[in-house]
Structure 1
Amino acid sequence: MALKGASQSGLARATGVNRSTISQIFDENAARLPGSQLTADCAAVLGVSTDYLLGLTDRPERPGDAIEAAVQMTEADRTSADEQLLDWFREASGYKVRHVPATLPDMLKTEAMMRWEYASFLSKTTDQAISAMRERLDVLRTRSSDHEIAISVQELDSLATGEGYYRGLTKAVRREQLSHFMALHDEFYPSLRVFLYDSRRVFSAPITIYGPLVGVIYVGRLYLAFRESSRLRSLIEHFDWLVREAEVDARDFGSHLARLMDRI
Protein backbone atom coordinates (compact mmCIF):
# COMPACT_ATOMS: atom_id res chain seq x y z
CA MET A 1 0.00 0.00 0.00
CA ALA A 2 2.86 2.36 0.81
CA LEU A 3 4.51 1.72 -2.57
CA LYS A 4 1.21 2.25 -4.39
CA GLY A 5 0.31 5.33 -2.31
CA ALA A 6 -2.91 3.62 -1.20
CA SER A 7 -4.82 4.37 2.01
CA GLN A 8 -6.96 1.99 4.04
CA SER A 9 -10.11 3.89 3.10
CA GLY A 10 -9.08 3.87 -0.59
CA LEU A 11 -8.41 0.14 -0.46
CA ALA A 12 -11.79 -0.40 1.24
CA ARG A 13 -13.59 1.54 -1.53
CA ALA A 14 -11.71 -0.29 -4.28
CA THR A 15 -12.49 -3.71 -2.83
CA GLY A 16 -16.08 -2.91 -1.86
CA VAL A 17 -15.78 -3.53 1.89
CA ASN A 18 -16.09 -1.36 4.99
CA ARG A 19 -13.06 0.54 6.16
CA SER A 20 -13.36 -1.27 9.50
CA THR A 21 -12.80 -4.58 7.68
CA ILE A 22 -9.49 -3.32 6.28
CA SER A 23 -8.56 -1.83 9.66
CA GLN A 24 -9.08 -5.19 11.36
CA ILE A 25 -6.67 -6.84 8.95
CA PHE A 26 -3.98 -4.38 10.06
CA ASP A 27 -4.76 -4.76 13.76
CA GLU A 28 -2.02 -6.94 15.24
CA ASN A 29 -4.27 -7.76 18.19
CA ALA A 30 -7.19 -8.90 16.04
CA ALA A 31 -7.67 -12.49 14.98
CA ARG A 32 -9.44 -11.63 11.73
CA LEU A 33 -7.82 -12.64 8.46
CA PRO A 34 -9.18 -11.71 5.02
CA GLY A 35 -11.17 -14.31 3.12
CA SER A 36 -10.08 -15.61 -0.25
CA GLN A 37 -12.25 -13.13 -2.19
CA LEU A 38 -10.98 -10.11 -0.26
CA THR A 39 -7.39 -11.36 -0.58
CA ALA A 40 -7.84 -11.68 -4.34
CA ASP A 41 -9.47 -8.24 -4.56
CA CYS A 42 -6.67 -6.63 -2.55
CA ALA A 43 -4.05 -8.30 -4.73
CA ALA A 44 -5.79 -7.05 -7.88
CA VAL A 45 -6.05 -3.48 -6.57
CA LEU A 46 -2.42 -3.40 -5.42
CA GLY A 47 -1.08 -5.11 -8.55
CA VAL A 48 0.53 -8.05 -6.76
CA SER A 49 -0.14 -11.78 -6.48
CA THR A 50 -2.17 -13.39 -3.72
CA ASP A 51 0.82 -15.63 -2.99
CA TYR A 52 2.85 -12.50 -2.26
CA LEU A 53 0.22 -11.19 0.17
CA LEU A 54 0.13 -14.60 1.88
CA GLY A 55 3.92 -14.70 2.23
CA LEU A 56 4.35 -17.67 -0.09
CA THR A 57 6.76 -15.89 -2.47
CA ASP A 58 9.08 -12.92 -2.32
CA ARG A 59 8.17 -11.88 -5.88
CA PRO A 60 5.24 -9.44 -5.93
CA GLU A 61 4.36 -9.91 -9.61
CA ARG A 62 1.15 -11.61 -10.58
CA PRO A 63 1.70 -14.93 -12.41
CA GLY A 64 1.22 -13.48 -15.88
CA ASP A 65 3.42 -10.48 -15.07
CA ALA A 66 6.09 -12.76 -13.57
CA ILE A 67 6.21 -14.83 -16.77
CA GLU A 68 6.40 -11.66 -18.87
CA ALA A 69 9.23 -10.34 -16.69
CA ALA A 70 11.10 -13.66 -16.74
CA VAL A 71 10.97 -14.29 -20.51
CA GLN A 72 10.66 -11.59 -23.14
CA MET A 73 10.62 -12.00 -26.91
CA THR A 74 12.18 -9.23 -28.97
CA GLU A 75 11.94 -9.21 -32.74
CA ALA A 76 15.42 -9.32 -34.23
CA ASP A 77 14.94 -6.55 -36.76
CA ARG A 78 18.39 -5.53 -37.93
CA THR A 79 18.20 -1.86 -37.00
CA SER A 80 16.19 -2.07 -33.78
CA ALA A 81 17.94 -5.25 -32.67
CA ASP A 82 21.27 -3.46 -32.74
CA GLU A 83 19.80 -0.74 -30.55
CA GLN A 84 18.39 -3.39 -28.22
CA LEU A 85 21.78 -5.08 -27.95
CA LEU A 86 23.45 -1.77 -27.16
CA ASP A 87 20.81 -1.10 -24.51
CA TRP A 88 21.60 -4.45 -22.91
CA PHE A 89 25.33 -3.69 -23.08
CA ARG A 90 24.80 -0.34 -21.38
CA GLU A 91 22.55 -1.89 -18.75
CA ALA A 92 25.28 -4.42 -17.94
CA SER A 93 28.01 -1.80 -17.52
CA GLY A 94 30.33 -2.98 -14.76
CA TYR A 95 29.32 -6.64 -15.12
CA LYS A 96 30.96 -9.44 -17.10
CA VAL A 97 29.42 -10.06 -20.53
CA ARG A 98 29.56 -13.64 -21.85
CA HIS A 99 28.93 -14.17 -25.55
CA VAL A 100 28.60 -17.04 -28.01
CA PRO A 101 28.15 -15.41 -31.45
CA ALA A 102 26.25 -16.89 -34.37
CA THR A 103 29.32 -16.52 -36.60
CA LEU A 104 31.98 -14.05 -35.43
CA PRO A 105 31.26 -11.31 -32.87
CA ASP A 106 30.20 -8.16 -34.71
CA MET A 107 32.21 -5.83 -32.49
CA LEU A 108 35.44 -7.63 -33.49
CA LYS A 109 34.83 -7.62 -37.25
CA THR A 110 36.62 -5.45 -39.80
CA GLU A 111 34.65 -3.03 -41.94
CA ALA A 112 35.51 -5.11 -45.01
CA MET A 113 34.05 -8.19 -43.35
CA MET A 114 30.91 -6.26 -42.41
CA ARG A 115 30.45 -4.96 -45.94
CA TRP A 116 30.74 -8.47 -47.38
CA GLU A 117 28.48 -10.02 -44.75
CA TYR A 118 25.68 -7.45 -44.66
CA ALA A 119 25.53 -6.73 -48.38
CA SER A 120 22.59 -9.12 -48.83
CA PHE A 121 20.49 -7.73 -45.96
CA LEU A 122 17.79 -5.49 -47.37
CA SER A 123 16.43 -4.32 -43.98
CA LYS A 124 19.67 -2.69 -42.93
CA THR A 125 22.38 -0.81 -44.79
CA THR A 126 26.00 -1.81 -44.48
CA ASP A 127 26.83 1.59 -43.00
CA GLN A 128 24.27 1.00 -40.24
CA ALA A 129 25.88 -2.35 -39.46
CA ILE A 130 29.34 -0.76 -39.32
CA SER A 131 28.05 2.05 -37.11
CA ALA A 132 26.57 -0.49 -34.68
CA MET A 133 29.86 -2.43 -34.69
CA ARG A 134 31.85 0.71 -33.86
CA GLU A 135 29.53 1.63 -31.02
CA ARG A 136 29.87 -1.82 -29.49
CA LEU A 137 33.65 -1.59 -29.84
CA ASP A 138 33.50 1.78 -28.07
CA VAL A 139 31.67 0.05 -25.21
CA LEU A 140 34.51 -2.48 -25.07
CA ARG A 141 37.11 0.31 -25.04
CA THR A 142 35.57 1.84 -21.93
CA ARG A 143 36.73 -1.33 -20.13
CA SER A 144 33.71 -0.91 -17.88
CA SER A 145 32.96 -4.63 -18.30
CA ASP A 146 34.98 -7.77 -18.89
CA HIS A 147 34.00 -9.72 -22.00
CA GLU A 148 34.31 -13.47 -22.47
CA ILE A 149 33.60 -14.87 -25.94
CA ALA A 150 33.36 -18.53 -26.91
CA ILE A 151 33.74 -19.43 -30.61
CA SER A 152 34.06 -22.83 -32.22
CA VAL A 153 37.46 -23.81 -33.57
CA GLN A 154 35.74 -24.84 -36.79
CA GLU A 155 34.34 -21.32 -37.27
CA LEU A 156 37.82 -19.82 -37.39
CA ASP A 157 39.10 -22.71 -39.52
CA SER A 158 36.37 -21.96 -42.07
CA LEU A 159 37.33 -18.28 -42.01
CA ALA A 160 41.00 -19.08 -42.61
CA THR A 161 40.30 -21.49 -45.48
CA GLY A 162 37.40 -19.55 -47.01
CA GLU A 163 35.04 -22.49 -46.74
CA GLY A 164 31.44 -22.95 -45.61
CA TYR A 165 29.91 -19.67 -44.49
CA TYR A 166 32.97 -17.76 -45.71
CA ARG A 167 33.03 -19.20 -49.21
CA GLY A 168 33.59 -16.33 -51.64
CA LEU A 169 35.33 -14.10 -49.09
CA THR A 170 38.65 -12.98 -50.56
CA LYS A 171 41.98 -14.02 -49.10
CA ALA A 172 42.86 -10.39 -48.39
CA VAL A 173 39.72 -9.82 -46.30
CA ARG A 174 40.24 -13.10 -44.43
CA ARG A 175 43.85 -12.21 -43.59
CA GLU A 176 42.80 -8.71 -42.51
CA GLN A 177 40.12 -10.17 -40.25
CA LEU A 178 42.52 -12.55 -38.52
CA SER A 179 45.07 -9.76 -38.14
CA HIS A 180 42.35 -7.54 -36.66
CA PHE A 181 41.49 -10.27 -34.15
CA MET A 182 45.14 -10.47 -33.13
CA ALA A 183 45.39 -6.70 -32.67
CA LEU A 184 42.25 -6.55 -30.51
CA HIS A 185 43.43 -9.53 -28.46
CA ASP A 186 46.76 -7.80 -27.83
CA GLU A 187 45.00 -4.52 -26.95
CA PHE A 188 42.29 -5.78 -24.65
CA TYR A 189 43.42 -9.07 -23.07
CA PRO A 190 42.65 -9.95 -20.27
CA SER A 191 39.52 -7.74 -20.16
CA LEU A 192 38.62 -9.44 -23.47
CA ARG A 193 39.04 -13.21 -23.36
CA VAL A 194 38.25 -15.43 -26.37
CA PHE A 195 37.96 -19.21 -25.90
CA LEU A 196 37.75 -21.71 -28.74
CA TYR A 197 35.72 -24.90 -28.31
CA ASP A 198 35.45 -27.96 -30.57
CA SER A 199 31.90 -28.04 -31.98
CA ARG A 200 32.32 -31.76 -32.71
CA ARG A 201 32.42 -32.33 -28.94
CA VAL A 202 30.25 -29.54 -27.50
CA PHE A 203 27.52 -27.30 -28.88
CA SER A 204 25.97 -23.94 -28.12
CA ALA A 205 23.24 -21.84 -29.65
CA PRO A 206 24.12 -18.13 -29.99
CA ILE A 207 23.72 -16.57 -26.54
CA THR A 208 24.76 -13.45 -24.66
CA ILE A 209 24.65 -13.14 -20.88
CA TYR A 210 24.76 -9.60 -19.56
CA GLY A 211 26.08 -10.04 -16.02
CA PRO A 212 23.39 -11.10 -13.55
CA LEU A 213 20.75 -9.04 -15.38
CA VAL A 214 19.63 -10.75 -18.56
CA GLY A 215 20.50 -13.74 -20.71
CA VAL A 216 19.59 -13.63 -24.40
CA ILE A 217 19.28 -16.53 -26.85
CA TYR A 218 19.29 -15.65 -30.56
CA VAL A 219 16.96 -17.85 -32.61
CA GLY A 220 17.02 -15.99 -35.93
CA ARG A 221 14.08 -13.63 -36.19
CA LEU A 222 13.72 -13.36 -32.42
CA TYR A 223 15.70 -12.80 -29.25
CA LEU A 224 14.54 -14.69 -26.14
CA ALA A 225 15.55 -12.67 -23.08
CA PHE A 226 15.56 -14.30 -19.63
CA ARG A 227 15.77 -12.32 -16.39
CA GLU A 228 14.69 -14.93 -13.84
CA SER A 229 17.70 -15.82 -11.66
CA SER A 230 17.54 -19.62 -11.95
CA ARG A 231 17.38 -19.46 -15.76
CA LEU A 232 20.26 -16.99 -15.80
CA ARG A 233 22.32 -19.35 -13.65
CA SER A 234 21.61 -22.17 -16.10
CA LEU A 235 22.86 -20.08 -19.02
CA ILE A 236 25.95 -19.01 -17.08
CA GLU A 237 26.68 -22.64 -16.17
CA HIS A 238 26.32 -23.56 -19.85
CA PHE A 239 28.80 -20.87 -20.88
CA ASP A 240 31.26 -21.83 -18.13
CA TRP A 241 31.01 -25.43 -19.40
CA LEU A 242 32.09 -24.22 -22.86
CA VAL A 243 35.06 -22.45 -21.27
CA ARG A 244 36.09 -25.56 -19.29
CA GLU A 245 35.85 -27.68 -22.45
CA ALA A 246 37.72 -25.15 -24.62
CA GLU A 247 40.35 -26.51 -26.99
CA VAL A 248 42.16 -23.18 -26.99
CA ASP A 249 42.40 -21.10 -23.81
CA ALA A 250 42.03 -17.33 -23.99
CA ARG A 251 45.71 -16.76 -23.27
CA ASP A 252 46.62 -18.85 -26.33
CA PHE A 253 44.13 -17.19 -28.69
CA GLY A 254 46.76 -14.93 -30.27
CA SER A 255 49.16 -17.76 -31.06
CA HIS A 256 46.30 -19.82 -32.51
CA LEU A 257 45.44 -16.92 -34.82
CA ALA A 258 49.08 -16.69 -35.92
CA ARG A 259 48.97 -20.37 -36.95
CA LEU A 260 45.80 -19.75 -38.92
CA MET A 261 47.44 -16.81 -40.69
CA ASP A 262 50.20 -19.14 -41.87
CA ARG A 263 47.56 -21.35 -43.52
CA ILE A 264 46.28 -18.57 -45.78
Structure 2
Amino acid sequence: MPEMIDRRDRATLFRTRLLQALEGRSQSWLARETGLDRSTISALLAPGTRLPNAQAAADCASVLGVSCDWLLGLTDRRDPPDVLAARAVTLVPAARALFDDTILAWHRAAKGAKIRHVPATLPDLLKTPEVLAFEYAAILPDPGPALSAFQAQREGLDASLPDFEIALPRHELVSFASGTGYWSGLAPELRRAQLDHFAEVLETRYPALRLYLFDAHRVFSAPVTVFGSDRAVVYLGQQYLVLTDQARVAEAAQHFDHLVREAGHSARDTPGLIRGLAV
Protein backbone atom coordinates (compact mmCIF):
# COMPACT_ATOMS: atom_id res chain seq x y z
CA MET A 1 0.00 0.00 0.00
CA PRO A 2 1.44 3.43 -0.95
CA GLU A 3 2.68 5.58 1.92
CA MET A 4 0.21 8.32 2.87
CA ILE A 5 1.68 11.83 2.98
CA ASP A 6 0.22 14.74 4.92
CA ARG A 7 -1.33 17.38 2.63
CA ARG A 8 1.04 20.03 3.94
CA ASP A 9 4.09 17.87 3.23
CA ARG A 10 2.81 16.95 -0.23
CA ALA A 11 2.23 20.62 -1.06
CA THR A 12 5.78 21.45 0.05
CA LEU A 13 7.17 18.61 -2.05
CA PHE A 14 5.14 19.73 -5.07
CA ARG A 15 6.48 23.31 -4.81
CA THR A 16 10.03 22.05 -4.44
CA ARG A 17 9.81 19.77 -7.46
CA LEU A 18 7.98 22.32 -9.58
CA LEU A 19 10.80 24.81 -8.95
CA GLN A 20 13.38 22.12 -9.75
CA ALA A 21 11.62 21.32 -13.03
CA LEU A 22 11.40 25.01 -13.98
CA GLU A 23 15.21 25.11 -13.98
CA GLY A 24 15.30 28.88 -13.63
CA ARG A 25 12.50 29.64 -16.09
CA SER A 26 9.94 32.19 -14.96
CA GLN A 27 6.42 31.75 -13.65
CA SER A 28 5.26 33.83 -16.61
CA TRP A 29 6.84 31.32 -18.99
CA LEU A 30 5.08 28.41 -17.27
CA ALA A 31 1.74 30.26 -17.31
CA ARG A 32 2.12 31.01 -21.01
CA GLU A 33 3.11 27.45 -21.94
CA THR A 34 0.38 25.76 -19.86
CA GLY A 35 -2.37 28.30 -20.44
CA LEU A 36 -2.88 28.65 -16.70
CA ASP A 37 -3.39 32.02 -15.05
CA ARG A 38 -0.27 33.59 -13.59
CA SER A 39 -2.14 33.94 -10.32
CA THR A 40 -2.67 30.15 -10.29
CA ILE A 41 1.03 29.49 -10.82
CA SER A 42 1.93 32.02 -8.11
CA ALA A 43 -0.50 30.40 -5.69
CA LEU A 44 0.94 26.93 -6.37
CA LEU A 45 4.46 28.19 -5.66
CA ALA A 46 3.50 30.15 -2.54
CA PRO A 47 3.97 28.56 0.92
CA GLY A 48 0.85 26.79 2.15
CA THR A 49 -1.23 23.72 1.39
CA ARG A 50 -2.37 24.62 -2.13
CA LEU A 51 -2.21 21.67 -4.54
CA PRO A 52 -3.12 21.73 -8.25
CA ASN A 53 -6.15 19.99 -9.70
CA ALA A 54 -5.51 17.05 -12.01
CA GLN A 55 -5.60 19.18 -15.19
CA ALA A 56 -3.15 21.76 -13.89
CA ALA A 57 -0.74 19.10 -12.59
CA ALA A 58 -0.87 17.25 -15.93
CA ASP A 59 -0.31 20.46 -17.91
CA CYS A 60 2.68 21.46 -15.81
CA ALA A 61 4.19 17.98 -16.07
CA SER A 62 3.70 17.87 -19.85
CA VAL A 63 5.28 21.28 -20.45
CA LEU A 64 8.21 20.60 -18.13
CA GLY A 65 8.85 17.08 -19.47
CA VAL A 66 8.50 15.34 -16.12
CA SER A 67 6.19 12.79 -14.57
CA CYS A 68 2.98 14.11 -13.04
CA ASP A 69 3.36 11.49 -10.29
CA TRP A 70 6.85 12.82 -9.57
CA LEU A 71 5.57 16.38 -9.19
CA LEU A 72 2.97 15.17 -6.71
CA GLY A 73 5.42 13.06 -4.71
CA LEU A 74 3.95 9.71 -5.77
CA THR A 75 7.24 8.45 -7.24
CA ASP A 76 10.92 9.31 -7.19
CA ARG A 77 11.23 8.75 -10.93
CA ARG A 78 11.29 12.16 -12.55
CA ASP A 79 10.93 11.13 -16.19
CA PRO A 80 7.45 10.66 -17.71
CA PRO A 81 6.22 7.08 -18.22
CA ASP A 82 6.89 6.98 -21.98
CA VAL A 83 10.51 7.99 -21.45
CA LEU A 84 10.93 5.45 -18.64
CA ALA A 85 9.44 2.74 -20.84
CA ALA A 86 11.77 3.60 -23.72
CA ARG A 87 14.77 3.44 -21.42
CA ALA A 88 13.64 0.28 -19.65
CA VAL A 89 13.99 -1.87 -22.79
CA THR A 90 16.59 -1.02 -25.42
CA LEU A 91 18.35 -2.79 -28.29
CA VAL A 92 22.12 -2.48 -28.49
CA PRO A 93 24.22 -3.79 -31.42
CA ALA A 94 26.14 -6.97 -30.59
CA ALA A 95 29.48 -7.48 -32.27
CA ARG A 96 30.55 -10.97 -33.29
CA ALA A 97 33.72 -10.75 -31.27
CA LEU A 98 35.46 -12.35 -28.34
CA PHE A 99 34.50 -9.63 -25.92
CA ASP A 100 33.22 -6.27 -27.13
CA ASP A 101 33.47 -2.90 -25.39
CA THR A 102 29.77 -2.94 -24.52
CA ILE A 103 30.06 -6.15 -22.50
CA LEU A 104 33.18 -4.87 -20.78
CA ALA A 105 31.40 -1.66 -19.81
CA TRP A 106 28.48 -3.63 -18.31
CA HIS A 107 30.87 -5.78 -16.30
CA ARG A 108 32.73 -2.74 -15.00
CA ALA A 109 29.48 -0.98 -14.08
CA ALA A 110 28.45 -4.05 -12.06
CA LYS A 111 31.80 -4.34 -10.26
CA GLY A 112 31.31 -6.01 -6.91
CA ALA A 113 27.74 -7.08 -7.67
CA LYS A 114 26.53 -10.63 -8.31
CA ILE A 115 26.52 -11.58 -11.98
CA ARG A 116 24.36 -14.42 -13.31
CA HIS A 117 25.22 -15.74 -16.77
CA VAL A 118 23.65 -18.17 -19.23
CA PRO A 119 26.05 -18.27 -22.22
CA ALA A 120 25.12 -18.90 -25.84
CA THR A 121 27.57 -21.82 -26.05
CA LEU A 122 30.29 -22.40 -23.48
CA PRO A 123 31.31 -19.37 -21.39
CA ASP A 124 34.01 -17.36 -23.18
CA LEU A 125 35.58 -16.44 -19.84
CA LEU A 126 36.53 -20.10 -19.30
CA LYS A 127 37.63 -21.14 -22.80
CA THR A 128 41.19 -22.06 -23.70
CA PRO A 129 42.94 -20.08 -26.48
CA GLU A 130 42.76 -23.13 -28.77
CA VAL A 131 38.99 -23.43 -28.39
CA LEU A 132 38.54 -19.70 -28.92
CA ALA A 133 40.65 -19.85 -32.09
CA PHE A 134 38.52 -22.73 -33.41
CA GLU A 135 35.24 -21.01 -32.61
CA TYR A 136 36.15 -17.62 -34.06
CA ALA A 137 38.21 -18.85 -37.03
CA ALA A 138 35.65 -17.52 -39.54
CA ILE A 139 36.02 -13.94 -38.32
CA LEU A 140 39.64 -14.04 -37.08
CA PRO A 141 41.95 -15.18 -39.91
CA ASP A 142 44.87 -14.14 -37.68
CA PRO A 143 43.59 -14.82 -34.15
CA GLY A 144 46.86 -14.12 -32.31
CA PRO A 145 46.44 -10.38 -31.55
CA ALA A 146 42.72 -10.72 -30.76
CA LEU A 147 43.34 -13.63 -28.40
CA SER A 148 46.11 -11.73 -26.61
CA ALA A 149 43.86 -8.70 -26.15
CA PHE A 150 41.02 -10.91 -24.94
CA GLN A 151 43.28 -12.63 -22.42
CA ALA A 152 44.31 -9.25 -21.00
CA GLN A 153 40.65 -8.21 -20.73
CA ARG A 154 39.76 -11.50 -19.07
CA GLU A 155 42.51 -11.18 -16.48
CA GLY A 156 41.37 -7.64 -15.73
CA LEU A 157 37.84 -8.87 -15.07
CA ASP A 158 38.80 -11.74 -12.79
CA ALA A 159 39.43 -9.47 -9.81
CA SER A 160 36.10 -7.69 -10.25
CA LEU A 161 33.97 -10.85 -10.24
CA PRO A 162 33.63 -11.80 -6.58
CA ASP A 163 30.26 -13.48 -7.13
CA PHE A 164 29.82 -14.99 -10.59
CA GLU A 165 27.33 -17.76 -11.36
CA ILE A 166 26.95 -19.60 -14.66
CA ALA A 167 24.07 -21.87 -15.64
CA LEU A 168 24.59 -24.07 -18.69
CA PRO A 169 22.48 -26.77 -20.38
CA ARG A 170 24.20 -30.09 -19.74
CA HIS A 171 23.81 -31.10 -23.39
CA GLU A 172 26.15 -28.25 -24.40
CA LEU A 173 29.00 -29.89 -22.52
CA VAL A 174 28.02 -33.37 -23.73
CA SER A 175 28.10 -32.14 -27.34
CA PHE A 176 31.45 -30.48 -26.73
CA ALA A 177 32.94 -33.60 -25.12
CA SER A 178 31.84 -35.78 -28.05
CA GLY A 179 32.82 -33.23 -30.71
CA THR A 180 29.40 -33.18 -32.35
CA GLY A 181 27.25 -30.42 -33.84
CA TYR A 182 28.72 -26.97 -33.29
CA TRP A 183 32.02 -28.48 -32.09
CA SER A 184 32.47 -30.92 -34.97
CA GLY A 185 36.06 -30.74 -36.22
CA LEU A 186 37.67 -29.71 -32.93
CA ALA A 187 40.46 -32.18 -32.11
CA PRO A 188 39.78 -34.61 -29.21
CA GLU A 189 42.92 -33.58 -27.33
CA LEU A 190 41.83 -29.92 -27.42
CA ARG A 191 38.39 -30.86 -26.12
CA ARG A 192 39.87 -32.89 -23.27
CA ALA A 193 42.23 -30.05 -22.37
CA GLN A 194 39.29 -27.63 -22.33
CA LEU A 195 37.23 -29.84 -20.04
CA ASP A 196 40.19 -30.25 -17.68
CA HIS A 197 40.66 -26.47 -17.73
CA PHE A 198 36.98 -25.94 -16.88
CA ALA A 199 37.22 -28.27 -13.90
CA GLU A 200 40.49 -26.80 -12.64
CA VAL A 201 39.32 -23.17 -12.83
CA LEU A 202 36.02 -24.00 -11.12
CA GLU A 203 37.84 -25.74 -8.28
CA THR A 204 40.42 -22.97 -7.91
CA ARG A 205 38.00 -20.06 -7.96
CA TYR A 206 35.19 -21.60 -5.91
CA PRO A 207 33.10 -20.10 -4.30
CA ALA A 208 33.54 -16.84 -6.23
CA LEU A 209 32.86 -18.71 -9.48
CA ARG A 210 30.11 -21.32 -9.63
CA LEU A 211 28.77 -23.30 -12.58
CA TYR A 212 25.57 -25.34 -12.68
CA LEU A 213 24.38 -27.77 -15.35
CA PHE A 214 20.63 -27.96 -15.94
CA ASP A 215 18.55 -30.34 -18.04
CA ALA A 216 17.15 -28.52 -21.10
CA HIS A 217 14.43 -31.17 -21.36
CA ARG A 218 13.03 -29.80 -18.10
CA VAL A 219 13.74 -26.07 -18.37
CA PHE A 220 14.93 -23.74 -21.13
CA SER A 221 16.81 -20.46 -21.16
CA ALA A 222 17.87 -18.03 -23.83
CA PRO A 223 21.40 -16.59 -23.44
CA VAL A 224 21.07 -13.96 -20.72
CA THR A 225 23.29 -12.14 -18.25
CA VAL A 226 22.01 -10.37 -15.13
CA PHE A 227 24.38 -7.66 -13.93
CA GLY A 228 23.53 -7.12 -10.27
CA SER A 229 20.12 -5.50 -9.77
CA ASP A 230 20.47 -2.81 -12.43
CA ARG A 231 20.65 -4.56 -15.79
CA ALA A 232 19.66 -7.81 -17.53
CA VAL A 233 20.86 -8.48 -21.07
CA VAL A 234 19.40 -11.07 -23.46
CA TYR A 235 21.66 -12.03 -26.38
CA LEU A 236 19.72 -12.10 -29.65
CA GLY A 237 22.67 -12.64 -31.99
CA GLN A 238 23.22 -9.33 -33.75
CA GLN A 239 21.71 -7.35 -30.88
CA TYR A 240 21.41 -7.29 -27.11
CA LEU A 241 17.99 -6.76 -25.57
CA VAL A 242 18.77 -4.68 -22.49
CA LEU A 243 16.38 -4.45 -19.52
CA THR A 244 17.00 -1.77 -16.90
CA ASP A 245 13.64 -1.64 -15.11
CA GLN A 246 14.42 -3.08 -11.68
CA ALA A 247 11.28 -5.22 -11.59
CA ARG A 248 12.16 -6.84 -14.93
CA VAL A 249 15.79 -7.31 -13.86
CA ALA A 250 14.57 -9.02 -10.69
CA GLU A 251 12.40 -11.36 -12.79
CA ALA A 252 15.42 -12.27 -14.93
CA ALA A 253 17.38 -13.00 -11.76
CA GLN A 254 14.55 -15.21 -10.49
CA HIS A 255 14.57 -17.09 -13.81
CA PHE A 256 18.29 -17.74 -13.40
CA ASP A 257 17.87 -18.88 -9.82
CA HIS A 258 15.24 -21.34 -11.04
CA LEU A 259 17.82 -22.80 -13.46
CA VAL A 260 20.21 -23.27 -10.54
CA ARG A 261 17.57 -25.09 -8.50
CA GLU A 262 16.76 -27.30 -11.50
CA ALA A 263 20.42 -28.30 -11.78
CA GLY A 264 19.93 -30.58 -8.80
CA HIS A 265 23.59 -30.48 -7.74
CA SER A 266 25.87 -28.13 -5.86
CA ALA A 267 28.55 -26.04 -7.58
CA ARG A 268 31.16 -28.11 -5.74
CA ASP A 269 30.02 -31.16 -7.73
CA THR A 270 30.35 -29.53 -11.17
CA PRO A 271 34.11 -30.13 -11.68
CA GLY A 272 33.61 -33.85 -11.08
CA LEU A 273 30.70 -33.95 -13.51
CA ILE A 274 32.85 -32.23 -16.15
CA ARG A 275 35.79 -34.58 -15.62
CA GLY A 276 33.38 -37.48 -16.07
CA LEU A 277 32.64 -36.22 -19.57
CA ALA A 278 36.34 -36.01 -20.45
CA VAL A 279 36.79 -39.80 -20.30
Structures share fold, TM-score greater than 0.5: yes
Q: Using the aligned pairs only, state the percent identity.
A: 39
Residue 12 (structure 1) aligns with: 28
Task: Show CA shifts across 1:82-124 (max 9, x none).
Answer: 1111100000001000000000111111111111101113799
Listed as ranges, the gaps of 5+ residues in structure 2 are: 1-17
Residue 88 and residue 123 in structure 1: after superposition, are their counterparts in 2 closer, same or farther (change >3 A)? farther
Residue 127 (structure 2) aligns with: 109
Q: RMSD over aligned Cα, in angstroms?
A: 2.6
Residue 44 and residue 248 in structure 1: after superposition, are their counterparts in 2 closer, same or farther (change >3 A)? same
Instruction: Work out whether residues 231 and 249 of structure 2, in 8 Å CA contact, stay in contact via their aligned partners in 1.
Output: yes
Instruction: Work out whether residues 118 and 222 of structure 2, in 8 Å CA contact, stay in contact via their aligned partners in 1.
Output: yes
Distance in 2, Cα, partners of 1:80 & 1:24: 60
Q: Are 1:82 and 2:100 matched, yes or no?
A: yes
Matched pairs, number:
259
**CA-CA distance at 1:56 after TM superposition:** 4.2
Q: What TM-score do the two structures reach when normalised by structure 1? A: 0.87
Q: Which amino acid aligns with 1:13?
A: W
Q: Which amino acid aligns with 1:24?
A: A
Residue 165 and residue 128 in structure 1: after superposition, are their counterparts in 2 closer, same or farther (change >3 A)? same
- Which among 36, 42, 48 is matched to residue 60 of structure 2? 42
Residue 220 (structure 1) aligns with: 237
Task: Show CA shifts across 1:121-149 (max 9, x none).
Answer: 37996743652354134312x15531000
Task: Show CA shifts across 1:156-184 (max 9, x none).
Answer: 11111101111111112111211211221
Distance in 2, Cα, partners of 1:48 & 1:129: 47
Residue 132 (structure 1) aligns with: 150
**CA-CA distance at 1:261 after TM superposition:** 1.7
Listed as ranges, the gaps of 5+ residues in structure 1 are: none
**CA-CA distance at 1:15 after TM superposition:** 4.3
**CA-CA distance at 1:68 after TM superposition:** 1.9
Residue 44 (structure 2) aligns with: 25
Q: Which amino acid aligns with 1:215?
A: A
Helix, strand or coil for the counterpart of 2:219?
coil
**CA-CA distance at 1:201 after TM superposition:** 1.2
- Which among 185, 208, 221 is matched to residue 202 of structure 2? 185
Task: Show CA shifts across 1:208-236 (max 9, x none).
Answer: 00001100011111101111111111101
Q: Are 1:118 and 2:141 matched, yes or no?
A: no
**CA-CA distance at 1:39 after TM superposition:** 3.2
